[in-house]
Structure 1
Amino acid sequence: MIDTAAAPHHDVEGPEGAPALILGPSLGTSLDLWVPQLAALGRAHRVVRYDLPGHGGTPSAALPHPEPGETSVADLADLVLGLADRYGIGAFHYAGVSLGGAVGTYLAIHHPERVSSLALVCTSAHFGGAEPWRARAALVREQGVASLVATAPGRWFADPETATTPRGAALLADHAAADPAGYAACCDALAAFDVRDALGSIAAPTQVIAGAGDVATPVSHGRELADAVPGARLDVVEGGHLASAERPAEVTALLTAHLERAGNG
């Protein structure tokens, strides 16, 4: 039973009665990550954006298992299902960046009846093994998120100048404002995530978008997803891990075309 009271902080825009599209953010960002895509995607869809625990407006207390090492992508997926249930949304289209993409992948595998189509942006079926994420979680719990802010531009952007733009500065400010408990818990979720063996079960029409300059989830990770998910399409855009922010027009066009191919049901 999904606890609808635990739904994360969110924003809903677009025509009432239109097909639902849920947008998931990456680790260290908020629902504002999707601002460049919102106008286009909201023309034909009821767009629901949400914040991860400890990010944006969602408190870390939204986590069902806040103890170190206990949070999983399944927990985050349950929060999304609770949010959908709150609005009476049965099936929905889903697009997510990085950790947000992992949530969508999990939903498509374990709740296929809920996912009408899937877009995976700069994400992976696994995130490089558990140990680096456990180490990052421990660092954040001990020293706070500020310990990571200086290295965030190198992880997020292919073009270092992006960090100096208003858009880049806003993304980095969201990163700095993240609550350490929630951020570390999301690192725990990434540490435990590996669904490579289950990708073949995904039935939803799937678009994979990779960033040519993404050092966090390289193009090879996107190709692995596209090769394993039946019928999936892979497109590569310039940009780093937050390619949706560095190359917003290209990512928006790919998402719009994907949703048109998937249909508005």
Structure 2
Amino acid sequence: MNDVSFFTAGDGTRIAYRLDGPADAPVLALSNSIGTTMAMWDGQISPLTRRFRVLRHDTRGHGASAVPVGAYSLDRLGRDVLELLDALGIERAHLLGLSLGGLIGQWLGVHAPERLGKLVLSNTAAHLGPARQWDERIAAVLQAPDMKDTAEIFLANWFPPAMLQAGGPVVDAFRAMLLATDRRGLAGAWAAVRDTDLRRTIALIQAPTLVIAGRDDTVTSLAHGEQIAATVPGARLVVLPAVHLSNIEHPQTFAAMVLDFLAEA
């Protein structure tokens, strides 16, 4: 990808990031789903950069970022975002996170409220148990010869059957992202999901919050979105007729909803 830059996090991990949009516009940070790169937001960059300076990064273990070995923590993933903002001299930003990115957004809302404007949490959950299922997935992916089977499982959970069966460039692009993902990075990120339970603490979030849920999401269900919206003070819930990647199934509607929410006084 062109125009990708790098910074080094406090623990020495090299993180890839990219800035798009007017230099004097308010900053909107995007945080991606597990198993993807910052390219998952490509379809939203054009509308979002009309109003915002958009900051994307590859979560550690993914894309062009380094792949530390071992379990990652949500605390470390959240601090990667804070340290990136510090490195760029950005005091405050809105944040949009999907799936794992939404978990990171919740952590930031609880632990760094002074750094956030508004918060958009898409297709995510405050807790995804039990821990044993994540241990099994971590062991399986680390023992597998490659990412082929894991990639197909992800795709089946991300897209509606008709879209998956039709194939095409969108599905192919996400398959390529998954196949290129380092299994150690995936395992590390799964460990962060395994060890996270924000069901009570997200009641401390002060940022105005929009929760986007997928009606047919089998990864982070509608019930998960409803739980977040019921717990975060003043949060609003919007449900899209989508599976897990709402921004991919409904790119124009998704971007319009985000922009409308961020524009509100």
Give TM-score, length-normalised by structure 2. 0.92
Offset of residue 54 of structure 1 = 2.2
AA aligned opposite 1:122: N
Counterpart code for 1:35: D
Quote how far apart the aligned CAs of 1:160 are: 3.5
Tell me what 1:196 maps to.
199
Q: Report the AA paired with residue 230 of structure 2.
A: D
Structure 2 CA distance for aligned equivalents of residues 44 and 162 of structure 1 = 33
**Which ranges of structure 2 fall in alignment gaps of 5 or more residues?**
1-8
The alignment status of 1:235 with 2:238, answered yes or no, reads yes
In structure 1, what is the equivalent of residue 62 of structure 2? Answer: 55
Q: Deviations over 1:104-127 (max 9, x none)?
A: 100110111111110001001011
Judge conservation of contact 1:122–1:241 (CA < 8 Å) in 2: yes
CA RMSD in angstroms comes to 1.5
Q: Percent identity?
A: 35
Corresponding letter in the other structure for 2:45: L
1:28 deviation in Å? 0.6
In structure 1, the partner of 2:228 is 225
Within the alignment, does 1:131 sit opposite 2:138 as a pair? no
Q: How does 1:33-112 map to 2 (within 5 A)?
A: 33-61=40-68, 66-67=69-70, 70-112=71-113
CA contact (8 A) 1:60 1:181 kept: yes
Q: Give, in whole Å, the separation in 1 of the partners of 2:41 and 2:52.
A: 14
Q: Is the 8 A contact 2:13 2:66 kept in 1?
A: no
How many residues align? The count is 255
Maintained 8 Å contact 2:102/2:122? yes
Structure 1, gaps ≥5 residues long:
none
AA at the equivalent of 1:202: I
Q: Deviations over 1:3-47 (max 9, x none)?
A: 296452111001102111110010111101111111111111110
Give, as a single letter, the amino acid of the residue that structure 2 aligns with 1:161. M
1:74 and 1:4 map into 2 onto residues whose CA distance is: 12
Distance 1:108 1:184 in 2: 25
Structure 2 CA distance, aligned partners of 1:134 and 1:94? 29
| C-alpha distance in 2 between matches for 1:7 and 1:44 | 29
1:103-252 alignment runs, 5 A limit: 103-143=104-144, 144-162=146-164, 164-252=167-255
**AA paired with 1:245?**
I
The question of whether the paired residues in 1 share the 8 Å contact of 2:28 and 2:95 is answered with yes
